[in-house]
Structure 1
Amino acid sequence: MSDLVLVDRLTVLASNGQKLVGPATFRIPAGTVTALTGPSGSGKTTVMRALLGRLPSVTARATGTASVAGNDVFSLNHVALQRFRRMHIAYVGQDPGSALNPLLRVRALLREVAPDAAMATLVDTLALVGLSAEYLRRRPSELSGGQQRRVALARALIRDTGVLVLDEPLAGLHGALRTDIAGQLVDIARRRSAAILLSGHDTTLVHSIADQVVELGAVTDLTEAGPPRALVPSGHPEGRTAKFRDGTGTQSRIADAFVETAHASPVVTLPDRAPGVPVLLDTDSVGDRAGDHPIGTDADLVRNGRRGSLGAAVKDGFGQDEFALRAQGIGASVDGHQVLADVGFELCAGAALAVVGASGAGKTTLARVVAGLHRCATGYLELRGAPISVGRGRRISHGAGGIQLVTQNPRSALNPRRTVAQTLGRPLRRIGGVPRRRLPQHITELLASVELPADLAGRYPHELSGGQRQRIALARALAAEPAVLLCDEITSALDHTTAASIMALLDRVRADHGTALLIISHDMGLVAEHCSRLLVLDHGRVVESGDTGTVLAAPTRTATRELLG
């Protein structure tokens, strides 16, 4: 097999000489899938974008070599680089929705990158990512976050390039759809003799489809002859992931991955923490140490009834009659299409309610209605016993004790012209009433609470990894001391260890302050571990609800069963 991607000691440096990532060395033969792994902030996105000749800033520089389809990307001039990107490589980033022109319908978005494609090709490409031909008529505003991600993936696939670089392509998708698209990617690599580089924090699934796994920071030898193999550090116990990479039986390997009793220990090397940065998380207090115990698959946690000890305690830690939020008869439409109908729920102070469903079920729209960000909404909302407006309206008058939303695409939600300190300082001053002279101390404490070093305060969003941006968005919401915190897929861009730490933090917040959580997630293991109650949406309607363990152990609806993969 010929190597379509050759990377040799690639290192990316900031203008001050600080190493952002590297040295990384790997090759990707035609017809194979390579998984790029590492904890949030380890530089996966930086390496992927470097293969396109893109560095984090105009002042950043790269050493080593990166050859893609025979092109040394760092030696190409501007015109040659544009031609190279058009002909040889397709890239889908972590926030693909931001790359979709909001004025164009999906049909035009596909034809924008493949102007000569026949209608049948458009339909077939959408089918590869689990979307019907009906979506050709929709605009990005009419799509959920997961559907936008699939349209962006379809735009990459329809170009039929030799190299595909996919940053978190399976994030924000429910279990059955993740498995299906993962299998499609393997098939595309084999059938087109393409080289696919992808990342993902669903390590069981990503490892199961990868011919090789490249861990940033690990010392590996890629010079051996024969087909690519798993790149597991010698100290890793047994390397269970290698069982899935024999080059055959892709679909069965995926299925096997989901019925393994637990993930193998994370094959990652955590970066050194900046000296002097406090860590406020005391994960020992929640029973199992976050990140130290095996993290089971979605089905495992449901079968075994596992739930964190604090998760069970918190749900009864505040008066059951003390409702933080009530919703009745919630309906919503987008551009004339009804996406929510007669949705209702009650959320107690200090409790956690999971809202789950397939991509496009209406989960994000529900969160936006509750947050007061969706104009075309109807129904009744009550916050701490007082009715609040449904539909778009300013709610800053609620001050501390209001509702805060953390979205699934933090890059779109963070002002690119504000530093981290400015982003966190705004709610601290306007809602929390923190004096200006005390802002630095509060900002440092907020960053530490989400396990980020204080020196990130001076950075802008584009200088952060996807996982770091997500944690900044969470810290901004926590700065407002909300009574209700809406979390839309906030762990989808995080590695398992960091996700466990974030959820441990949220458990502490609701235990200490009585904050009510509404968690939107496709990670059913996370839902089973941390949320006492569950609400399943399907096509904008509630189809199943109740105690999380009961619903997931014996789901009565197909929509619920498909979430378990």
Structure 2
Amino acid sequence: MSEPVLDLRELRVSYGDGAPAVDGLSLSVAPGEIVAMVGESGSGKSTAALAVLGLLPASATVSGSIVLDGQSILDLRDEALRKLRGQGAGMVFQEPMTALNPLLRIGFQLAEAIRNHDPAPKRHRHYHARCAELLGRVGVPDPAARLKQYPHELSGGLRQRVMIAIALAAGPRLIIADEPTTALDVTVQQQILDLLRDIRDTEGTATLLITHNMGVVADVADRVLVLKSGQVVEQAPTTQLFSSPEADYTRELLAAVPRLGAGVHPEPETTPERPVLALSDIVVEYGGRRVADSVSLTVAPGEIVGLVGESGSGKTTLGNCALGLVTPKSGTVAVLGGPLPRGTGRAARAVRQQIGAVFQDPASSLDPRMTVAQTVAEPLAVHTSAGRAERRKRVRELLDAVELPESMMTRYGHELSGGQRQRVSLARALVLGPKLLIADEPTSALDVSVQAAVLEVFRRLHEEFGFGCLFISHDLAVVDSLCDRVAVLRSGELVEQGPAATVLRAPEHPYTKALLLSSPVPDPELQRSRREALADPDVNPAA
């Protein structure tokens, strides 16, 4: 049997006098093996991954053994450790917007990753062809043009694919992928999973996959480790773990996974109401490229409309049109029965305080200099004359509504978990009691149990506040569980829309059928058959 690429023995990581973040973790990853590590936020998954590359902060106390590509990580320093990163292991970080340098073009950052491990480094432009090849391999369209762009010019999915290309740049023996498909829609996610399989099959690269998506685990992993509070509660081959989990915690994780087809959809209301949002023939262009092409859709009072489609299809652009952050080239945006006013005058502010927004990445949408209480209270300070005591009372009410304790009020964004940050974003969006909510991937970065809790909070808040919602998501199972209607966007065009039960159970457009087949399910055997169907042109016309 070949030596493992990665071998951890009794790894323990702690910060100060608190409970250890990782407590006695042992695992190995063999060449060509894909091992998935799953668990709730704060279970120690990302801490273990950072320890493997020696990236933990100086405040961390580390003990045990970490052997990567035959070398002990805990015995390496500076230059020796830098050389092992990239060639020994490549890292795909969880949040590409914060991992990529916003001031440097994509091509420079990718070339830098190659150049850093070139024995005879050359000028960055020398690596242009290799950079384009890497972007093409991870499914970035028009790679030569993308090399000239900055991170903010790419969609979340494209940014994540750039991160994967950077991880592959030095030809590592191990890929550590920390939520590599979190920001990706289901079709691009499937391409990335196919890519990980291809790298494993053709190059024998080992993969340590950290994910909250149990469908992804079922699709690609050979073995699974389940972590809770820094400890392994169960590990088993993938098929065995899904068919007969032994630990109660594992069963709870699997029970929390939303399943496509399990949503219950009541008969839609037949009485027409004035919509809280009406987009009519919206056309948006960036640099001559049309990203929204004559799109029309409505959201009725109290209705949740799911907007799905690939990364770069225009979903976020349409959400930003509804918020007044993007001005269409043509078409109209009507909110609460009237045109969306421009500027910062009294009329514009009166309308905007009726609109709430939850953005895709809570880590970058929360002001790092503001406490939780200041963040939630800010809309009250801007749009109302409420005094400090009244604002504080309202903040307490909203934190209670999103199930966060009052002790969180004095914390900052970086001191919160991903699920806690998203709950703060929800509280901020709803503090003024809006009639319309734009939710852009509000659960995409959350593990399954935290996602289930946040969705339950969302349902209760929707029932309490009665807002209409444009719910942008790539997770079709979440859309199925939550939305009344679904609109499917492809390359800026609306290809299908209707009641959720119709679109998600009996789709008409080939693209919608491909989206549904690409959505992974938490069942290894069923997922294997779906993957085969996705590649069969007789079953999937889009293949």
TM-score normalised by length of structure 2 = 0.82
3-state SS, counterpart of residue 370 of structure 1: helix
- What is the DSSP-based 3-state SS (H/G/I as helix, E as strand, rest coil) of the residue aligned with 2:276? strand
Match of 1:229 in 2: 237
Q: 1:380 aligns with which of 332, 335, 340?
A: 332
Aligned counterparts, 1:58-77, within 5 A: 58-77=58-77
**Equivalent residue for 2:523?**
none
Check 1:46–1:454 CA distance in 2 against 1; reply closer, same or farther (3 A cut). farther
> Would the aligned equivalents of 1:351 and 1:510 in 2 still touch at CA under 8 Å?
no
Partner residue of 2:165?
Answer: 154
Task: Say yes or no: does 1:192 pair with 2:144.
Answer: no
Residue identity in the other structure for 1:370: A
The CA deviation at 1:485 is: 1.1
SS at match of 2:91: strand
- 1:201 paired to 2:155: no
Q: What letter corresponds to residue 131 of structure 2 in structure 1?
A: L
Aligned to 2:266, the other structure's residue is in SS state: helix
Equivalent residues of 1:324, 1:383 under 8 A apart: yes
Q: Is the 8 A contact 2:86 2:169 kept in 1?
A: no
1:6–1:26 Cα contact (<8 Å) kept: yes
- Report if aligned partners of 2:278, 2:297 keep a CA contact under 8 Å in 1: yes
1:122 and 2:127 matched: no
Task: Give 1:375 deviation, angstroms.
Answer: 5.3
Pairwise CA distance, 1:457? 3.4
Runs (5+) with no aligned partner, structure 1: 223-227, 241-263, 271-290
Contact 1:369 1:391 in 2 (8 A): no
- Could you say which residue in structure 2 is the equivalent of 1:258? none
Q: Deviations over 1:146-180 (max 9, x none)?
A: 11111111111222112211111112333333223
Closer/same/farther in 2, CA of residues 157 and 376 from structure 1, 3 Å limit: farther
**1:95 and 2:95 are equivalent in the alignment:** yes
Find the aligned partners of 1:138 and 1:540 in 2 and give their Cα distance: 23
Deviation at 1:517, TM superposition (A): 0.9
The separation in 1 between residues aligned to 2:438 and 2:73, in whole angstroms, is: 42
- Give the letter aligned to residue 382 of structure 1: A
Structure 2: how far apart are the matches of 1:96 and 1:394?
37
Q: After the TM superposition, which of the residue ranges 85-94 and 157-166 deviates more from structure 2?
A: 85-94
Q: Which amino acid aligns with 1:42?
A: S
Q: Judging changes above 3 Å, is the alpha-carbon distance between structure 1 residues 550 and 165 closer, same or farther for their aligned structure 2 residues? A: same
**2:6 counterpart residue number:** 5
Per the alignment, residue 416 of structure 1 pairs with: 368
- The code of the aligned residue for 2:200 comes to A
Question: In the alignment, is residue 167 of structure 1 matched against residue 178 of structure 2?
Answer: yes
Shift of 1:357: 0.9
Corresponding residue for residue 281 of structure 1: none
**Letter matched to residue 122 of structure 1:** C
2-structure distance, mates of 1:105, 1:392:
33
Question: Aligned runs of 1:130-145 on 2, under 5 Å?
Answer: 130-134=139-143, 135-139=145-149, 140-145=151-156
Partner AA of 2:135 in structure 1: L
How do 1:306-385 residues align onto structure 2 when only pairs under 5 Å count?
Answer: 306-308=262-264, 312=266, 316=269, 320-374=272-326, 378-385=330-337
Structure 1: which amino acid aligns with 2:244?
Answer: E
Aligned partners of 1:546, 1:231: CA distance in 2, in Å? 36
Per-residue deviation at 1:494?
Answer: 1.8
Distance 1:84 1:51 in 2: 11
TM-score by length of 1: 0.79
Q: 8 Å contact 1:65–1:72 — kept in the other structure?
A: yes
What is the rounded CA distance, in whole Å, between the counterparts of 2:429 and 2:291 in structure 1?
26
1:267 to 237, 241, 250: 250
Total equivalences in the alignment = 503
Q: What is the aligned counterpart of 2:499 among 538, 547, 560?
A: 547
Distance 1:372 1:391, change over 3 A: farther
Q: 2:459 aligns with which of 507, 517, 534?
A: 507
Task: Give the direction of change, closer, same or farther, for the CA distance of 1:98–1:479 in structure 2 (3 Å limit).
Answer: same
Aligned-residue Cα RMSD (Å) equals: 3.3
Label 1:424 to 1:188 Cα distance change in 2 as closer, same or farther (>3 A).
same
Q: CA deviation at 1:540?
A: 1.0
Shift of the 209–146 alpha-carbon distance from structure 1 to 2, 3 Å rule, reads same
> How many angstroms does 1:50 deviate by?
2.5
Could you say if the C-alpha distance between residues 119 and 386 of structure 1 is closer, same or farther in structure 2, counting changes exceeding 3 Å? same
1:22/1:59 CA distance change after superposition, 3 Å:
same
Q: Residue type of the partner of 1:151?
A: V
Question: Residue in 2 aligned with 1:28?
Answer: 29
User: Whole-Å Cα distance in 2 between the matches of residues 418 and 12 of structure 1?
Assistant: 29
Give the counterpart of 1:556 among 504, 508, 511.
508
* Whole-angstrom distance in 1 between the partners of 2:45 and 2:225: 10
1:178 and 2:184 are equivalent in the alignment: no
In 2, Cα distance between the equivalents of 1:395 and 1:530? 33
| Distance change in 2, residues 1:219/1:411 (3 Å) | closer
- Name stretches of at least 5 consecutive residues in structure 2 with no aligned partner: 119-125, 519-543
Task: State the identity %.
Answer: 34
Asked whether the equivalents of residues 370 and 390 of structure 1 are also in contact (C-alpha less than 8 Å), the reply is: no
- Structure 1 counterpart SS, 2:464: helix
**Distance in 2, Cα, partners of 1:461 & 1:445:** 19
